[in-house]
Amino acid sequence: MIERTAELEKAVQVMNVIEEGKFPLLLNRIAQFLSSDTSSKPFTDAEESKLESSLEISAKEVQLVINGILEIFNKCAYHKIKPSLLGEDLEKTLKLQQKKAEAFTQVWTVFAKAIVENLKQKSFLPQLSHMAYSLSIATASDIETKEKMLRAQLQLGLTNDKMRDDINIEFTHDELYSFYQRLEQIQDQLDGLK
């Protein structure tokens, strides 16, 4: 269920040298982070520095372990791995020591529901944060063709945790009507899923 990657293998090698008594505390802290919306990373820079000395590993290894644990918990949430299968999978696939795999299983048992629910609320795609529009009429320059060209300009503001972007779209009357009909179809499909 959990795929073996080179980066994850390196992280597991470092996890295996961490003192058994300290490892569950690290897992708990990261699981608490994943089950809440409070911050953008599980540890502050100062806390990561303390982890180096406490766990007796380098700064690079601290990052490797944190990212490895985050990846494992995220994969567990994505695949909705049962706690009973997690420990076995970690031992066989990733070669994590038995006591460390048991610690993962215990923490996953406690936090699985909260982590899955919190991750469901997060979107990895940008979200619409604001919308603005303007209307304009362009008239033809030729005196003989008194044609009016109606235009609508939409500005969609998109944001996610890391960026903010504005998208500008211009529609003719027919294009806007076609876009509206497509949105209605999408809304009907969403309503049908309820």
Confidence category of residue 60, pLDDT binned at 50, 70, 90: very high
Q: How many residues does the chain have?
A: 194
Amino acid at the residue 38: T
Q: Is the pLDDT of residue 163 over 80?
A: no
Residue 121: CB atoms within 10 Å: 7
Question: 53-62, 95-104, 182-191: which has the minimum mean pLDDT?
Answer: 182-191
- Report, as an integer, the average pLDDT of 158-175: 85
Does the pTM surpass 0.85? The reply is: no
Confidence category of residue 107, pLDDT binned at 50, 70, 90: very high
Summarize pLDDT for 130-159 with one digit per residue, the tens. 999 999 887 766 665 667 788 999 999 988
Residue in 79, 84, 73 with CA at minimum distance from that of residue 31: 73
Instruction: Indicate the domain borders of the chain.
Output: 6-121, 124-172
φ/ψ of 155, rounded to 5, equals -120, 115
Longest dimension (CA), the chain: 87
Q: Report percent pLDDT > 70 for the chain.
A: 92
